[in-house]
Amino acid sequence: MAEAKWRDVGPVGPFTVKPLQEVLVDGTPIAISHHADGTFGAVSGVCNHAGGPLGDGHLDGEYIVCPWHQWKFHARTGAGEPGFEEDCVPSHEVKVEAGRLLVNLAPLTRRHKKPHEPHPLARPVKRDPGPVRVAGISTTSMDRKAPRYSGSDDLLQTALRHAETDLGAETRLIRLNDLSFRSCEGFYSKAARACTWPCSITQMDPKDELDRVYEALVHWGDVVLVATPIRWGAPSSLYYRMAERMNCVQNQVTTHDRVLIRNKVAAFIIVGGQDNIQAVAGQMLGFFAELGFLFPQFPYIAHSRGWTAEDMEKNVAFVRESRELKDGAAELVGRAVALAQHLLEERPTPDRIERGGRKAHRMTE
Ligand code: FES
């Protein structure tokens, strides 16, 4: 047994005020718990999952709940929750002497990480051979039981048909409206490293279906074609729900120096009854640039009949019947596929991109 290293962490009083708190003992974070029977527990303050601060979590009975993704560890023994006991953090002896709390820094039990099957999305990003692949993302929102005509969706389908039939590309259409997925819950706001790849929600919730979008954008597709209506001068609410969940893709650059999107192309179809096209396009271009996508020359097509055009039925009829818009959608995907083909042949993006990237400075630890 290792030699004891008892350390005085302070008067007992403050440790009885809160059920759980973190102390740094010789630089080591320890989660100190105080229980209803007046006793104390001490375990490592570093979670087995992604290093979350256990001392900042909360107690659920005898278990500490990690504040980042809710893994649980016994507050005295460090054992994982029932069924995951082997996944344990170090435990420490703790005692009270002369009104002071003492912790033995030499751990009583050791850390053990039970191997977890990695999520399929966590595999290395490696393009399989084959023709250019175009993923279409339709972001319009509607009643699934009573679908209506959508101009942006129609133009997206036109583009995908052209890509498949005339350009020999493989295509995949994803309608966000058909997927059940949670909004981003702000793991990044807890700590930059609490936002993981794959997304923490995707890893924890097998019912969340945004994995299909991640798969198409990060692994499968060479081109992503995003179609949106304009709603109150902005892309659709479903677009924003997807965009917020993409934080995990962008954040990998910042936290792990890992660029997931390389040599991929994005282009956009924007259809609005009224205007603000350039602001919508600007948002989408800025966001997809931050993810690492490249753009063809003239990377979007858009349509609006203008600020005063409240006769929406005429707008719908216009889009439905417009040969020009359909041709424009076909030409847009043509430009995107041509650029993707060039990128596939040349692979110009270097293997390593310095972490600065868009930030131009390193993250402050
Ligand atoms: S649950 Fe603790 S870091 Fe994820």
Query: pLDDT tens, 16-37?
Result: 999 999 999 999 999 999 999 9
pLDDT band of 364, cuts 50, 70, 90: low
Give the closest residue to 263 by CA, choosing from 163, 323, 328, 344.
344
Residue 279 CB: number of other CB atoms within 10 A? 13
Using CA atoms, how far apart are residues 282 and 37, in angstroms rounded to an integer? 60
Q: Which atom of ligand 1 is nearest to the CA of 69?
A: 1
pLDDT at 353 over 70: no
Residue 199 CA to ligand 1 center (angstroms) comes to 13
Q: Is the pLDDT of residue 170 over 60?
A: yes
Counting from 1 in the atom list of ligand 1, the atom nearest the Cα of 52 is 3
Cross-strand pairs, 135: 172, 224
Taking the C-alpha atoms of residue 337 and residue 135, their distance in angstroms, rounded to an integer, is: 11
Taken in order of first residue, the domains within the chain and their CATH numbers are: 6-104 (2.102.10.10), 120-346 (3.40.50.360)
Contact 199, 217 (CB under 8 A): no
Crossing angle for the helix pair 323-346 and 151-165, to the nearest 10 degrees: 50
Token readout for 229 is: 């209506």
Residue with tokens 């400075």: 361
Kindly report the protein residue whose alpha carbon is nearest to atom 1 of ligand 1. Answer: 69
Tell me the average pLDDT of the chain: 93
- Calpha distance 299→303 (Å, rounded): 14
In which band, very low, low, confident or very high, does the pLDDT at 363 lie, cut at 50, 70 and 90?
Answer: low
Please check whether residue 174 is in contact with residue 153, taking contact to mean a CB–CB distance below 8 angstroms. no
How many whole angstroms separate alpha carbon 59 and alpha carbon 72? 9
List, for residues 96-122, the tens digit of each pLDDT value: 999 999 999 999 999 999 888 899 999
Phi-psi region of 286 (alpha: psi -120 to 50; beta: other; left: phi over 0): alpha
pLDDT of residue 295: 98
Q: How many residues are there in the chain?
A: 365
Q: What is the pLDDT of residue 300?
A: 98
pLDDT digits (tens, 9 = 90+) for 300-350: 999 998 888 888 888 889 999 999 999 999 999 999 999 999 999 987 766
161 alpha carbon to ligand 1 midpoint, in Å? 44
Indicate the top mutation candidate among 56, 71, 195, 255 to test ligand 1's pocket, ranked by most ligand atoms within 8 A of CB. 71
pLDDT per position as a tens digit, 34-73 = 999 999 999 999 999 999 999 999 999 999 999 999 999 9
Q: How far is the CA of 17 from the centre of ligand 1 (A)?
A: 25
Average pLDDT estimate for 348-355: 65
